[in-house]
Chains A and B, each alone.
Chain A
Amino acid sequence: QSVLTQPPSASGTPGQRVTISCSGSSSNIGSNYVYWYQQLPGTAPKLLIYRNNQRPSGVPDRFSGSKSGTSASLAISGLRSEDEADYYCAAWDDSLSAFYVFGTGTKVTVL
């Protein structure tokens, strides 16, 4: 079961800004970096943001990440149709039950 909580869905029209929240605890987000993954329909996930707010090479600067306390967020500005996908946050966890935990996932729909 997922340890990090995300809203099940988010939506926007092309060009809009969409924000996805990710809520955790002191053992994961509160004490470790946050990562974000994008999963386009029918494909494997792809790393989108690492170390809270860093973008891997090739990821557009329309995607940005932030973290505060035990929560994090992903923002997509200038929403495009190709951004329609599932988005997952993740973090290392210092508890004994899991080493790396994911969020529940958010389906972004471009209206």
Chain B
Amino acid sequence: EVQLVESGGGLVQPGGSLRLSCAASGFTFSSYWMSWVRQAPGKGLEWVANIKQDGSEKYYVDSVKGRFTISRDNAKNSLYLQMNSLRAEDTAVYYCASILIAPLDYWGQGTLVTVSS
């Protein structure tokens, strides 16, 4: 059974940093692209970033380019999102999702990031 479990969310001040983690199990993590998606409170879904199996290709939505970095550790079956220079508009539930048979076919439960002073 595919399982994705996010952690690392919390309250951070504007301009601060946070690192999200996603522990994957139930599939061969190193064989698949992975993604981060976010959802601001009461709003819709927004794709944030994708990373290739070996980490050699990474893609970001314009609003986070230069501030967020997606990475992975295949030995630890883990996905990460390093978030720097955080803004109030980054406040959201962040989901880790897989791309096995289709984009975002399995999702974690999400972790809440709140950017506020």
Q: Taking beta carbons and an 8 Å cutoff, which residues of A are in contact with B?
A: 2, 35, 37, 39, 44-47, 50-51, 54, 56, 88, 90, 92, 97-105
Contact = CB atoms under 8 A, between A and B. Distances in A.
Given A35-B104, A56-B102, A100-B47, 4 more contacts: A39-B45, A44-B109, A45-B107, A50-B105
Interface of B: 35, 37, 44-47, 50, 59-62, 95, 101-110
B57 to A, nearest CB: 10
A88 B44 contact: yes
Contacts of A100: 35, 47, 50, 103-104
Contacts of B37: 45
A97 B44 contact: no
Contacts of A97: 61-62
B59 A102 contact: no
Contact of A51 (B44, B102, B108): B102
A35 B3 CA distance: 21
A46 B45 contact: no
Give the residue among A2, A98, A105 with the most B Cβ atoms within 10 A: A98
Contacts of B60: 99
Give the residue among B95, B101, B104, B106 with the most A Cβ atoms within 10 A: B104
B53 to A, nearest CB: 16
B105 A98 contact: no
Contacts of A51: 102
